[in-house]
Amino acid sequence: MELNFTGKAVVVTGAGSGIGRAMAVGFARRGASVLASDINEANLLKLQQELALEKLCVEIQACDVSVEQEVADLFNNSLLKNGVDVLVHSAGLTYFKNFTETTAEEYRTLIETNLSGTYYCLQQTVSKMKEHRIAGSIIVISSINAHRPLPSQAVYTSTKAAIESLCQSLAVEVAPLHIRVNCLAPGAVATNLSKVVMTEESKISAGKGIPLGRVGEPEDMVGTALFLASSLSEYMTGSSLIVDGGLILKR
């Protein structure tokens, strides 16, 4: 089983917390040269300092993925002078609000961050891979909501469904270049986003409704991403892997 990423350049967005942070740590521990990005620079500095204690190096760069120029600047980082081998695009946000209570500004923010941000990052990644003739892997963090919607997240759900469609179409387009594009769709995961509505008590309660008996942790997503980034999945593209402890079976 080959899960050594030494010599590979891996870009992780949304790396300041939650799933993105777990991804940056997971790839760094397996030898990758990681460029970690997040809108929150303070969180990136904490990540860099904590990995330094393990004698692991990670390059950091603040970036708002909804701003096209900031994404372009991210992919001009010197760490990527020889191209990008893997992108793990985890940056995103949500609002837990009824559809009629969601403001136009909140709608635009979700679209610009979740959908436009994905477009910008994928476009830059594919351009880098093509330029350097890299048969790379693109992994986009989607959501179980793209497959089984929940109330109070209509706009968020629509962005995740659109992202999955975008990735499927792109997978077909870049397959001749041996670039693979897949989604990873988490279920209920204990992140900063979910803490808005999930207390420790409700987390335990929610876990009882999941076949594997608990709410997921960000680290539970890392193994699937490592698989998608490795040669173990070299015949897989355009797929969406649901990692949810079986939650989708109960919805």
| C-alpha atoms less than 13 angstroms from C-alpha of 179 in its C-beta half-sphere | 29
**Calpha distance 42→70 (Å, rounded):** 17
Q: Which residues contact 93 (CB under 8 A, 6 or more apart)?
A: 109, 110, 113, 114, 193
**58 neighbors 30 (Cβ within 8 angstroms):** no
Choose among 76, 167, 61: nearest CA to 114. Answer: 167
- Check if 46 is active-site: no
Decide: 184 and 85 in contact? Cβ < 8 Å.
no
Structure tokens at 9: 């350049």
In this structure, the strands spanning 58-62 and 33-38 are: parallel
208 classed as catalytic = no
Q: Which residue among the candidates 143, 158, 194, 230 is catalytic per the annotation?
A: 143
Catalytic residue flag (residue 130): no
Task: Pick the catalytic residue from 33, 160, 194, 233.
Answer: 160
Active site residues: 143, 156, 160
